[in-house]
Structure 1
Amino acid sequence: GVVPELASRAHMQNILPVVSEALKTANCRLDDLDAIAFTQSPGLIGSLLVGTQFAKSLALALDKPLIAVHHMQAHVLANLIDDPKPSFPFLCLTVSGGHTQIVLCESAAKMKVLGETIDDAAGEAFDKTAKLLGLPYPGGPLIDKYAQQGDPKRFSFPEPKIPGLNFSFSGLKTAVLYFLQNAGTSQVYKEEFLASEEEKQQFITENLEDICASVQQRIVSILLNKLQTAAIQTGIKEICIAGGVSANSGLRKAFKELGEKKNWNTYIPAFQYCTDNAGMIAVTGYYKYMAKDFSDLSVTASARASW
């Protein structure tokens, strides 16, 4: 995974050349900017502090407004970068390595989390499954790649019975762990089911694509079943997905198919705006700028912060 200390050092080394390259690509100067927007939270505190201090220094030096952006709010508003755009109010399923939420968006500034994971995020379930299969980090895209060649009905994994609109993925991770340890014979822990390491590796090698397809199908069904429930409860038909996991081809395809079946207006950000990106911070900064929602220089980064 990501080593926080190394990540913050990499931010320090790269932030100036990245900003310079961005200005060059956009063909603009620092003086042309109307405001400075930055990610305040949530995330790795060391990396957030680098960006926060750089943004504060830039805003002070240029005498420009400073705009603090919540990372997950920005993922949601990534749906407003390109056309067509969803109309307010809309629902957004926001899925990443650290978050899994259903958000009601009444405006660019007014959002309410209707449901979220009570343990692990969907992206973590993808990455942990990949690790159990011996795939390198980040494993989510590799699960997606192999799943496209596999049979999603070959193996059956449990769907948690969590009330309301909340999610849970810890049970699925445990089921996958025991399933692999038992070389596909069971999803519970029993000594007599345990396979040798050689048998386990052979089972994975022979069934990798079907395992990936089956796990992905279950994760997608968990996500979309809850999203469908939220749509029914709210009566909203403007529905979006966002976050790094929204780049998953299985989720995108199933989401569009469900939208057609339920007569939703569905929206998915372009691939480059699904994973963490500056565009989503900029578009959120734009809406906060129009609302004159500025921060002063006392603002600081936060590893965890409410919306």
Structure 2
Amino acid sequence: MYVLGIESSCDETAVAVYHASKGLIAHTLYSQVATHAEYGGVVPELASRDHIRKLVPLIKTVLKEAELIAKDIEGIAYTAGPGLMGSLLVGAATAQSLAWTWQVPAIAVHHMEGHLLAPMLEDNPPAYPFVALLISGGHTMLIEVRAIGEYRLLGESLDDAAGEAFDKTAKMLGLDYPGGPKLAELASKGQNRFKFPRPMTDRPGLEFSFSGLKTFTMNALHATEQTAQDKADIAFAFQQAIAETLSIKCKRALQQTQLQTLIVAGGVSANQEIRRQLQQMAAKEGAEIRFPRPEFCTDNGAMIAYAGCQRLMAGQTQNLEIFARPRWPMEQLISL
């Protein structure tokens, strides 16, 4: 079964083709970073317009790369949420139009389920059950995963997600958009000079909160002369605090669930310091840890095509409704 996957939830337009037995056939992605850079963040209306311009050409490109034609496609999967409403509608409307034209089933995919299942694209995928840490610009959550669709939320951010805190702190330090990677680069030049708090680690539970850490960072910055080294040292301390907080919470999640596998996915999972600390924690706990390859950490069509393929093969489809939800709790997903 060949499934076309479409991802357009925010500022990246991505398309992929996945086959049920052959695996990932082809994928391509267009990033809008240059479009939004001058504004210091994503402008929803501009994002929607770019998706409209780029999506159909990308579909043609990926089909050509896969050496397939329209009649070879047996199903279409698209990101239906969460995300920016306008961007989601572009992908949903395009997917449903193609599904009607090609007379194939379509399936709405949860964006975070796509990230959660991204490690399954590897040649040696992890086995269920496992704990998943999803860290991105809009989400920070720990989930117990028993099977596709069988998810139990263990804890999530009560305010800013980790990626959002990275981007806002980067802007505070005068770094360009996208801030997360640039803050990590600046932190590599910093020294262990400041001690920042590890939010909500002094109490039981698996929730996260990073807005207070952002305020602490701002106060620390204002107390310095704001030299290049001051900023590097603050970036170092901030990144260490985020990484250690995530590590502490993941350790608790593994212990509470008594599971021995940790999956880490989402755009922030590409951060090398976060990976290092999580790997160190997992080794001490005797747990296995898995990350998607870097190209599948950020938004991509491959993860949507994979997730959609699993649901279509299980017999799940939807009608021609253009389904899009900017907010969509994972607990509402049904199991296979």
TM-score, length of structure 2 as denominator length: 0.83
| 1:210 to 2:236 alignment | no
* Aligned amino acid, residue 141 of structure 1: P
Instruction: After TM superposition, give the deviation of residue 299 of structure 1 in Å.
Output: 4.3
Where 1:25 maps in the other structure, the secondary structure is helix
Q: Which runs of 5+ in 2 are unaligned?
A: 1-40, 331-336
Secondary structure of the residue aligned to 2:134 is strand
Counterpart-to-counterpart distance in 1, 2:118 and 2:182: 24
Larger CA Rg, structure 1 vs 2: 1
Structure holding more helix per residue: 1
Q: Aligned match of 2:221 in 180, 190, 194?
A: 180
Aligned-residue identity in percent: 44
1:118 aligns with 2:151: no
Asked if residue 46 in structure 1 is aligned to residue 86 in structure 2, the reply is: yes
Indicate conservation of the 8 Å contact 2:217/2:234, yes or no.
no
40, 51, 56: which one pairs with 2:96? 56
Counterpart-to-counterpart distance in 2, 1:204 and 1:57: 54
Q: Which amino acid aligns with 1:258?
A: M
Amino acid corresponding to residue 237 of structure 1 in structure 2: Q
Shift of 1:84: 2.2
**Aligned partners of 1:83 and 1:257: how far apart in 2?**
24
Cα-to-partner distance string for 1:42-89 (whole Å, 9 max, x where unaligned): 100001001000000000011101111000111000011103211111
1:180 aligned counterpart, secondary structure: helix
- Whole-angstrom distance in 2 between the partners of 1:104 and 1:294: 25
Q: CA deviation at 1:208?
A: 2.8
| Counterparts of 1:234 and 1:92, CA distance in 2 | 11
Tell me, yes or no, if the aligned pair for 2:83 and 2:325 is still in contact at 8 Å: yes
Aligned to 1:164, which of 201, 205, 219? 205
Work out the CA distance in 1 between the residues paired with 2:84 and 2:124. 33
**Normalising by the residue count of structure 1, what TM-score does the alignment of the two structures yield?**
0.91
C-alpha contact 2:89 2:322 (8 A) present in aligned 1: no
Partner of residue 304, structure 1:
327
Counterparts of 1:145 and 1:85, CA distance in 2: 30
Give the conservation status (yes or no) of the 8 Å contact 1:99–1:117.
Answer: yes
SS of the residue corresponding to residue 120 of structure 1 reads coil
Q: Counterpart amino acid of 1:159?
A: R
> 1:248 offset after TM fit, Å?
0.5
Deviating above 4 A after TM superposition, structure 1's stretches of 4 or more consecutive aligned residues are: none
In 2, the alpha carbon distance for the partners of 1:292 and 1:146 equals 48
- Amino acid paired to 2:154: L
Out of 11-20 and 291-300, give the one that drifted further: 291-300
Aligned pairs (5 A) from 1:70-89: 70-89=110-129
